[in-house]
Structure 1
């Protein structure tokens, strides 16, 4: 595979200007293709986009060139781009057999350049290998060991859950095409990006340069080896987490047995984090016979770190093997070879007593607490991205709960978080509901059942009265002993605070991570 020469900053700026001038942006693509074709392109289905780009406008030319990997006449490319510069820098090559000076000859892209919208509407461009921007229904479909993928669902998931606060230093471990480093460059003074694959570091340079972002400190190597004893305020990684028999594909296979790569990545993060720093990962983990999967993950959490681990999906071993066999294009090989590879996956799982594989997010925050908070849960339900503010608020709530005993809790004031609604569930015409549900319409979109006291407490929590005074009023209304009510209710209040239904106004917390103030 050939890669383009690294453009100079001046030439990258000129190419970027040409792409934006032609509306080769995320918004421009949506306007040109329409929502169905745009969504199909994200699934690596190109036919709708080909039908929508039959004209000769600069935008249609760029879509065919960089996204659909179609040759275009040099004359059309010259209208859309600084042609000679793109040829000299290696972004484009002339079709084989074409005369060097004939403007009617075709040119082709050497890389995939994909428009990508930044957190604040910036026009960014992710550079990756041809045809590898997303896996789509058929997977990446490659057996090229050093291939560099572009934007996919995992990339955008990690970008969305990452805490975005100004920091001095950030580490993107296993940078790939550089999307996480690009995000980090917007709020970190210094960004370090590492990868075992030197091609990935080259693509990260291209992504940052073409997106107009500051450069990063790029280092080659595995796991934390390239950074030595350096520490960071933020660590992010979408690692090669696939649990596979061997390390055939650098971009996905970790090369360690079972889920050891993810375990190592997480367990060694604590010593690389500054106090108060965050580490956020995507990971796979084994569900092993006779072992509780939550306890397995609890053992990964480094000393002195709070953790929030969310399992988003679980696949049995046959589903898992089939998914990644398709991803590598093995389903298009000789049936006997496919069967042999399938057998190898099942042999690996059988040897490790693995019955299924979980996928999800792991977020750490170095709190230095004597008794760290470790929350491990299964949440396969839809969520609303970005979740970075929700992750930050989760850990801030742990600080609050850790420093407030029951007496302090009852003395504090609370407010029902924004976007929380109360639903009464019961038979039609019944005088009283069977139960009451509090439901979040934002963030994690949690729902929780509450009893009469909990529903009453949440309903009147507007910050004007302390928790204790509210319970006294509820006790009087229900004819319950207020002392007993004060004794048994704090645990329920803690749960509602922990899950983000109630905002403690005595802290800096606001609804779902926004700033709140005591009234």
Structure 2
């Protein structure tokens, strides 16, 4: 049975006591992962025995906190009072995060560390997942969105479909004001609690469907982890999309531009379908036509309907005996709807006047760090790549190799010297990719030092490899564009606008400096 919402926001003094206790006990992401191998709390019904045993030391404040608020298990009150600071348990009782009965402390919520904050949510209990008012704990999708979220200083931020407001709380570090919105009133209670716990300023919670609670407002940054799972039931919960197929996220994206300031960014993690006989990229593009936004789709996976059904249903409380019939029902539904596959990933919008672009790229490696700055660079790079005068603008720009690039080379000794067999370029800081390259690509990349314009670097490259100038520049330019798109090369912004302006003047017939001069 889902617990009624009895959470009370902490006073400033109590919030400080909780934060100080968590820090002193090292109740952190890194230590939880080190001890259990997990960052996401496991369902109570499916917690592996080894994970339970990992937190059995009742003499440790860390273990007491982990058992209560990560695993959601009751602990002995006497043992807890011995290791936890004076007044903490009474603070927890007052706020409604635990209950005391029969000499035991029973958690009413989870309190999970993410980065440098702690966030309350409902207990991770499978039987509660289908309840319309359930507020889930942190999950992989939410962490993935946090990893790509833009973290630059901003005025007004919206956490849409916020749940317990992970993204709103994290954004409060760099946003002047934060609004969190969710259809579920219980989510607002958790968001207010989490804002108080983490000392968030100018933090407002509202309740409504999609954008209905923020009509007339515009934002510089919107983050959303909406209900996106596609199923035959189409039930309205935190997890399952309430419309047919991907209709809910389509509606959300069609409305989003109206709520973005000029230059504002919308970032969402979601899923969408691939319909038989329909180009899925063109289908997505129609959602944004004429809406005044650049669109970057970053795909992470593509699943066949049978695989998608099995993976999704195994994460629910479906009875094992019923699972085959449920999977068959989902497969029949997808077949009837002519769904070939389900894609998952991120979709980023940025409000901008002028000729807007639409780009799709593939995420090929897991994201291991926060890369919000790389997302901003990726948007800027695509402005250069897809502008009206793209090639000329690139030729008149200055580029530099992005920080954190590695080249790993496998060589074989031929009896006289070492010869390179394979060469792989790895992007470690930013959107992680691995690209097979050769010595010519390496040679070209090395020329981008941020000092010379691209046309000069390409001319130097053509001379070095012994290609005719026109051929070397043309081939080098295509390689350069690919490296910009993958984030290997980035724009040096100083004087970029002047160089672009100069190139456009030249294109209109006014004399300009030769692109290939020194």
Shorter-chain TM-score above 0.5: yes
Q: Which residue pairs with 1:278 in the alignment?
A: 265
Aligned partners of 2:162 and 2:187 also within 8 Å: yes
Matched, 1:86 2:118: no
Residue 255 of structure 1, aligned match among 224, 230, 242:
242
Report how far residue 155 of structure 1 moved: 1.0
Q: 1:21 to 1:40 in 2, by over 3 A?
A: closer
Choose which of 46, 49, 60 in structure 2 pairs with 1:47: 49
Distance 2:179 2:283 in 1: 30
Matched, 1:111 2:126: no
SS in 2 for 1:418: coil
Q: Could you say which residue in structure 1 is the equivalent of 2:294? A: 306
Paired residue for 1:359, among 337, 344, 364?
344
Say which of 233, 247, 250 aligns to 2:220: 233
Q: How many residues align?
A: 483
Aligned to 2:508: none
Q: Residues of 2 paired with 1:472 and 1:340: CA distance?
A: 64
For residue 312 of structure 2, the aligned residue among 324, 331, 339 is 324
CA contact (8 A) 1:4 1:111 kept: no
Residue 405 of structure 2, aligned match among 420, 428, 452: 420
Structure-1 residue corresponding to 2:364: 380
Q: Secondary structure at the match of 2:38?
A: helix
TM-score by length of structure 2 reads 0.84
Following superposition, the deviation at residue 439 of structure 1 comes to 3.5
Aligned partners of 1:15 and 1:210 also within 8 Å: no
Within 5 A, what are the aligned runs for 1:351-500? 351-370=336-355, 372-401=356-385, 402=387, 405-422=390-407, 429=414, 438-448=425-435, 454-487=441-474, 489-500=476-487
Query: How much is the aligned-residue C-alpha RMSD, in angstroms?
Result: 3.0
Deviation at 1:414, TM superposition (A): 3.0
State the distance in 1 between where 2:489 and 2:445 align: 7
Partner Cα distance (1:398, 1:197) in 2: 37
3-state SS in 1 of match to 2:213: helix
Native 8 Å contact 1:92 1:107 kept in 2: yes
Q: Distance in 2 between matches of 1:109 and 1:261?
A: 34
Give the match for residue 120 of structure 2. Answer: 127
Question: CA shift at 1:258, angstroms?
Answer: 0.4
1:28-67 pair list within 5 angstroms? 30=31, 35-39=34-38, 42-44=41-43, 45=47, 47-51=49-53, 52-67=55-70
Match of 2:130 in 1: 143
Q: Using a 3 Å threshold, how does the CA distance of structure 1 residues 459 and 128 change in structure 2: closer, same or farther?
A: same
- Separation in 2 of the partners of 1:471 and 1:131? 56
1:193 aligns with 2:191: no
Distance in 2 between residues matched to 1:501 and 1:492, nearest whole Å? 11
Distance (whole Å) between structure 2 residues aligned to residue 187 and residue 485 of structure 1: 45
Q: SS at 1:64's partner residue?
A: helix
> In the TM superposition, what is the alpha-carbon distance from 1:319 to its structure 2 partner?
1.7
Counterpart residue number, 1:512: none
Cα distance change, pair 48–15 in 1 and its aligned pair in 2 (3 A): farther
Counterpart CA distance in 2 for 1:366 and 1:451 is 38
Q: In structure 2, what is the Cα distance between the partners aligned to 1:507 and 1:490?
A: 21
Q: Is the 8 A contact 2:185 2:207 kept in 1?
A: yes
Instruction: Return the alpha-carbon distance in structure 2 between the equivalents of residues 472 and 111 of structure 1.
Output: 63
Q: TM-score, normalised by structure 1?
A: 0.83
| 1:161 aligned onto 2:163 | no
Larger mean Cα displacement after TM superposition, 41-50 or 244-253: 41-50
What is the distance in 2 between the residues matched to 1:34 and 1:265?
A: 34
SS of the residue corresponding to residue 113 of structure 2 reads strand
Query: Could you report, residue by residue, the CA deviation over 1:126-172 in whole angstroms, capped at 9, with x for unpaired residues?
Result: 1111225xxxxxx7873333211111111111011011111111111
Query: Partners of 1:92 and 1:504 in 2: how far apart?
Result: 52
Determine if contact 2:128/2:134 at 8 Å carries over to the other structure.
no
Deviation at 1:381, TM superposition (A): 2.6
Q: Secondary structure at the match of 1:330?
A: coil
**d(CA) in 2 for partners of 1:108 and 1:64?**
10
